[in-house]
Structure 1
Amino acid sequence: MDKSSIHFRKGCSQSICDDIKEVLEVHNEALNEKYLGMPVNVGSSSNGAYFKYLKDRVWKKIQGWMEQTLTAGGKEVPIKSVAQTILTYSMACFRLPQGLCKHIDGLIRKFWWGRKEGKGTTCWVAWEEMTKPKYLGGLGFHDIDMFDLALLARQAWQVLTEPESLSTQVFSSQFILQTQVF
């Protein structure tokens, strides 16, 4: 615990800070730019500046795949197993801005439908249809914004059903901090 540290936003009251530090048994206050690959000081930026690294990572992967000629099945696998899973860890902890979610959905759609002579091709099926489960006629792609909400709802459910678990205590303090930030 001596190596652990915590950071609170500017508007957080000292009594809340003290209570959280006591519950978590973390007494060092410090601010690092990133921890476990995620931004530490997340604000209410509507353009998703704090999560630009996610957009860049997804784009870098998709850009490499665009150089290859892939079948529909060959595109589905990297989208589901790489592009959409890059976001999962961050989405389980933070509410990503809707603009960022839409932008990443757009990158994935561009890759799926392809390009000819430097221009995008016609999208023959609405993205909402493609995000439906396969048994309902869709392709089972994640709607990034809805998947983010689902992961956060799962965390909230754990807080409600298992209030004494260690991960719940950590999430509870993180949730308190995020609700004050947003």
Structure 2
Amino acid sequence: MSNEEYHKEKSLKEELAELMLREELFWRDKSKELWIKEGDANTKFFHALMKAKRSRNRIDSILDREGNRHSSLEAIEEVAVNFFKELLGDGSSVNSAQSHFMMDVIHREILDADNKSLRCPFTLEEVKKAVFDLQPNKAPDPDGFTMDFYQKCWGFLEHDILNFLEDFRKQDDTILFGEATPREAYTIKEVLDDNEKVSRQCMNEQKSMIYFLDTSRSIQSKIVGILQFGQGGFPIKNLGVPLFAGRLDNKIWEEIVNKCKAKSAAWMNNWLSQAGCIQMIKSILFAVPIYYMPCYSLSCKAISALDGMLKKFLWEGSKEAKKIPLINWDTACMLKEEGGAGLRKMKLQNLALGAKLAWKMYNTPQKGWYKVMATKYLDSSEPERIFIVANSVGGSPIWKFAWESRKIITDHLTWKVGNGKKAKFWRDS
């Protein structure tokens, strides 16, 4: 090969690499996936994700309340608008005396200074910071414009974005606790009706549920008839975390394991390199169980199933053909500096999060949730008792989790000898 041919071939290879990188960046931007980096030869993967995302986010038709299907863009818009108009109420006038009465009986939890701060209008500075903190290649609207567009055109759009945010309001779900009696049900209904009139926000009865604990069927029937809500059963979910009565059901962990398996099967690993597989485990598959792990102790069965699923995905992906692992799982879970892949074992991560829960109990005694736990399980209001007190018989799964995990902290604590007034000879563990 002549010198001229060598330089020409080198130039063509560099041009090809540049074009391939541009193509990959284009499809990565379309797929809106941030957990994997460009330059890893994942163009087909990004392309497939983009097609699946478009199909999933598209609304082809919608049903109205009468069950009629509408497919035109105008009809879909009209049905959606009418639904939320009916849901949020008609904005009728409110009795002023009734409004003042409601405000007087509500216990003040927020100081005037805090309330003034919360009601202050948004400033351009804080909105700009929020916009520029977002990922540039994420699209917040169906129009397809990414955050990079809003960041680059901030000088033209800043006031439009500010006006939009000032009109935006959000309402969270609420859990009300009460005694299972008809009298209590009538009181709750009256409070909800008054709140609806004062706030002008209608409650969604179709999504409201009643849950009973140790209540006879006859009382349950009466309360459901008074409130006119549906009746549900445990476990329920609040902010995605299961709430249950009694012992922790293994079905909860089976559901989490199945979610992880479904994600691993759906993420077409055939197109991912080994580095891409590792990154997906860290960013996607590990995020599903870790959302639950700060609250509950994983069962041995769940730990084995989750670790096994991650190992299988790392070495085999979505293919059925078995492969021989290049390194064992213990080595893969070591730090990169120590020759590992930087992955984590489920059991150790779970214990670390449980210890963090115990540390929060010690470090934030002013929080309401701590006061509930301290009243029920600790023998005094002193937060350091979490590290000393013996386990409580019949305690909740959350308490048991924090108590069992505290050993990570107590193994590294030293106690200073004092006058003995805080020591409890018969109760300290």
TM-score relative to the length of structure 2: 0.33
Pick one of 174, 177, 181 that aligns with 2:396.
177
- Structure showing greater radius of gyration is 2
Distance 2:293 2:305 in 1: 15
Distance 1:60 1:139 in 2: 23
Distance 1:116 1:39 in 2: 29
- The gaps in structure 2 that reach 5 residues or longer are 1-106, 108-173, 179-210, 214-232, 378-391, 405-429
Matched with 1:5 is: 177
- Whether contact under 8 Å (1:130, 1:138) holds in the other structure is yes
TM-superposition CA deviations, 1:41-86 (whole Å, max 9, x none): 26255xx322211111100011122552210111112111110011
SS of the residue corresponding to residue 86 of structure 1 reads helix
Matched with 1:38 is: 241
Amino acid at match of 1:62: S
- Whether contact under 8 Å (2:268, 2:318) holds in the other structure is no
Distance 2:319 2:364 in 1: 55
State the 1:104 CA deviation.
0.7
Pick one of 327, 343, 348 that aligns with 1:125.
327
Identity %: 20
- The CA RMSD measured in Å over matched residues stands at 3.2
SS of the residue corresponding to residue 39 of structure 1 reads strand
- Whether contact under 8 Å (1:101, 1:145) holds in the other structure is yes
Matched with 1:25 is: none
- Whether contact under 8 Å (1:5, 1:29) holds in the other structure is no
Distance 1:32 1:97, change over 3 A: same
Paired residues for 1:61-72 under 5 Å: 61-66=263-268, 68-72=270-274
Q: 1 or 2 for the larger relative contact order (CA 8 Å, sep ≥6)?
A: 1
Distance 2:261 2:319 in 1: 20
Distance 2:342 2:356 in 1: 20
Distance 1:51 1:168 in 2: 26
- The gaps in structure 1 that reach 5 residues or longer are 7-27
Matched with 1:96 is: 298
State the 1:102 CA deviation.
1.4
Distance 2:259 2:237 in 1: 17
Distance 1:74 1:3, change over 3 A: closer
Amino acid at match of 2:339: G
Paired residues for 1:151-166 under 5 Å: 151-166=353-368
Report the count of equivalent residues: 159
State the 1:3 CA deviation.
3.5
Distance 1:39 1:116 in 2: 29
SS of the residue corresponding to residue 68 of structure 1 reads helix
Pick one of 296, 309, 319 that aligns with 1:107.
309
Distance 2:320 2:295 in 1: 37
State the 1:111 CA deviation.
0.8
Amino acid at match of 2:292: S
Pick one of 135, 144, 155 that aligns with 2:346.
144
Please tell me whether residue 50 in structure 1 is matched to residue 252 in structure 2. yes
